[in-house]
Structure 1
């Protein structure tokens, strides 16, 4: 039975290093210090979100539908993952107020989502 890869020490919570790899077929063992991918530091929920995001080909609208969450929540989750990977989220683009109002009129977003989007432009 295989267990999920541990990335942090269960005693002190510091990052673990991989020091041993073994072939499941021939049992060849390689020992050294190996680096983890940046993605190994992400939680299961974040990895699931990335999987859905990729499956939806980056369409925030499709991610909203698939996960049943709002546009601002999708954006927030993306920003959290970008930060966890060691990058700074991109500067927030200038808010297109007319587009937000149009989306609201078409029923694509709720009034609460529109307010959130408009407030993002003020920050």
Structure 2
């Protein structure tokens, strides 16, 4: 069984450094300081979200369908991942096509509250 690499100290939560790598085939060991990517610090839920987001080519409607979550939830999860990667999330009013929002509301894909959020850009 393999485990995801620990990235934070279980005692003090500081970032851990990778210092040793070993080949399972020949037993070669390499010791040095190795960098982890920003993505190594994401939890499994965040990594799965990113996988779905990329597979959907950034299409939020497809992410909504696959994960069974609402538009505002997709945006919130995306903001969480962006923050976890060390970037600042700037709240922008998304350019939303009002007709699309009304269509989604009529089809029952979103609630009236979600439609208001989308239209008001909150």
* Correspondence list, 1:84-95, <5 A: 84-95=84-95
How much has 1:42 moved relative to structure 2? 0.5
1:27 aligns with 2:35: no
Give unmatched runs, 5+ long, in structure 2.
Answer: none
Give the TM-score, by structure 1 length: 0.85
Which segment is superposed worse, 4-13 or 100-109? 100-109
Aligned residues: 121
Structure 1 residues 96, 49: CA separation in 2 closer, same or farther (over 3 Å shift)? closer
Give the TM-score, by structure 2 length: 0.86
Kindly report structure 1 stretches of 4+ aligned residues shifted beyond 2 Å: 88-91, 93-110, 118-121
Instruction: Give the conservation status (yes or no) of the 8 Å contact 2:21–2:30.
Output: yes
* 1:17-46 deviation digits (Å, cap 9, x = unpaired): 000011121111110111110001111110
1:11 aligns with 2:7: no
Instruction: Give the conservation status (yes or no) of the 8 Å contact 1:95–1:117.
Output: no
- Tell me the equivalent position of 1:73: 73
- Tell me the equivalent position of 1:113: 114
